[in-house]
Amino acid sequence: MIGRAIILVLCGGFAGLGGCAGSGAGAGGEGLLPQGYTMSAEEKALDCRRLTGRIQVRLLALRGEAYKVQPSAAAQSMRSATSAALGTDTAKNAAVRAAAERPVLEAYNARLVELSCPSFDLGKELEARPSAPTPYPTIPARKAS
């Protein structure tokens, strides 16, 4: 009971600093999800090996969301309260960052196809356990016509 009161005070007291995650107060990251990703000239200049490496790093960082252990409700509440007070990232912001990475992965993978390089099955790789082997392109390169 006392814990809830503290959280409510923190949420209400810091609403001007962004509110508590899940409270609907503050910016919270809504509306920040990109609908697509436009590669820069520098990214378009990357060869197959470098694009593959960038995709691998992002996949390793993102894969296995379903297998991650979720913190208890009390821990989530405390994280939300302290995040609002300190202005740090919350689990919600982590989900926004993960969703923002998907268009980048899709753009890089499409670029691999354009360059006639082997590409990734992104859905399969993102569903893999975090302990799964390093992802490698499994879709063969198409023949240039």
Q: Indicate if the alpha-carbon torsion angle 109, 102, 35, 89 is positive or negative.
A: negative
Report whether 63 contacts 127 (CB < 8 A).
Answer: yes
State mean pLDDT over 2-13.
44
Q: Residue 44: its pLDDT value, please?
A: 94
Whole-angstrom distance, CA of residue 76 vs CA of residue 135: 31
- Predicted pLDDT at 21: 40
The mean per-residue pLDDT over the stretch 67-71 comes to 71
Contact in structure between 82 and 88 (CB atoms under 8 Å): yes
**Is the per-residue pLDDT at 99 higher than 70?**
yes
Q: What is the pLDDT of residue 35?
A: 58
Question: Distances from the Cα of 99 to the Cαs of 14, 17, 30, 68, 74, in angstroms?
Answer: 27, 24, 12, 16, 25
Is there a contact between 112 and 105 (Cβ–Cβ < 8 Å)?
no
Q: With a cut of 90, say whether residue 54 has pLDDT above it.
A: yes
Helix (H) / strand (E) containing 104:
helix 91-114
- Would you state the pLDDT for residue 75? 81
Least confident of 23-32, 93-102, 103-112: 23-32
Report residue 5 as tokens: 């009161």
Angstrom CA distances, 16 to 6, 23, 102, 117, stand at 17, 13, 31, 50
pLDDT greater than 80 at residue 15: no
* Domain ranges (residues) in the chain: 35-70+89-127
DSSP for 24-85 reads T-S-TTTT---S-----HHHHT--HHHHHHHHHHHHHHHTTGGGSPPPPHHHHHHHHHHHHH
Other beta carbons within 10 angstroms of residue 120's beta carbon come to: 22
Residue 13 reports pLDDT greater than 50: no
